[in-house]
Amino acid sequence: MRTFGERLSDAVGARGPLCVGIDPHVPLLAKWGLPDSPEGLARFTDAVVDALAGSVAVLKPQLAFYERHGSRGLAVLEDAVPRARAAGALVLLDAKRGDIGSTMDAYADYLRPDHPLAIDAMTVSPFLGPDSLQPAVDTAREFGGGLFVLARTSNPDAGTLQHAVVGERTVAQAVVDTVGGWNAADGSGSFGVVVGATLAEMDVDLDRLGGPVLAPGLGAQGGSVADVRRLFGAGVRVLPSVSRDVLAAGPDPAALRAAADRWAAELAG
């Protein structure tokens, strides 16, 4: 069984590091001329998957936009995720789950190959402590999945908690060090962190992470390729993530591909 870290390295090597979010929020559905309904959601998702799954390394659906439509919204993802993976894209579910014990174990089931919504990786929250994520770590290791743990996000008030000091480290650094320990323990490189691409400066040390960094915020949120290079430099495996700046080009498939190709070319330049 190949690990998520291995699959990610292959996908990035073949397709470049771009991650495209699938965020079908109401204004974007309206811009596409689609209703805010399960039918509109399906048409939007199908168009993005059909246009991009064959060329980008990672697609990142935001689970909340599907859950808000109930079981019919989740059914859209259950159809789209295996098609995206069959076309060669890795699927990173942006779920930001965090809990303890059997509840975290149940969330981690998304990483099982027999789950109706089997994915490659998911985002998780460490707020309840490192041990709270152990069920997800165990499931990821068992089935070759990956995790991206919220560490240093770039929303304006993130520092309220992430800059708090525990011992001699900030909370954000403690998260990074914890994830680095998981990678050091098994050498898989399957465990990453989320660090925003719109930070004013890099204030966590990623040298011993040993895994990937998901860097959201390109485009409409103000981040640029120059910011990615300024913040992360060489030697850090970064997945820059863009959503609205690509999705706004739809619903035309060629326009969606062209928008993603422009970002990919700039990242490669």
Separation between Cα atoms, residue 41 and residue 20, nearest integer Å: 17
Question: Is the bond preceding 126 in cis, omega lying within 30 degrees of 0?
Answer: no
CATH assignment at residue 167: 3.20.20.70
- Quick one: DSSP state of residue 32? T
Please identify every residue annotated as catalytic: 96
Separation between Cα atoms, residue 21 and residue 64, nearest integer Å: 12
> Domain range holding 223?
4-268
Please provide the size of the chain in residues. 269
The model's pLDDT over 144-199, given as tens digits with 9 standing for 90+, comes to: 999 999 999 989 898 899 999 989 999 999 999 999 999 999 999 999 999 999 99
* Whole-number pLDDT of residue 41: 98
Q: What percent of the chain has pLDDT over 70?
A: 100
Separation between Cα atoms, residue 60 and residue 22, nearest integer Å: 6
Give the other-Cβ count within 10 Å of 157's Cβ: 8
The model's pLDDT over 229-261, given as tens digits with 9 standing for 90+, comes to: 999 988 789 999 999 999 999 999 999 999 999
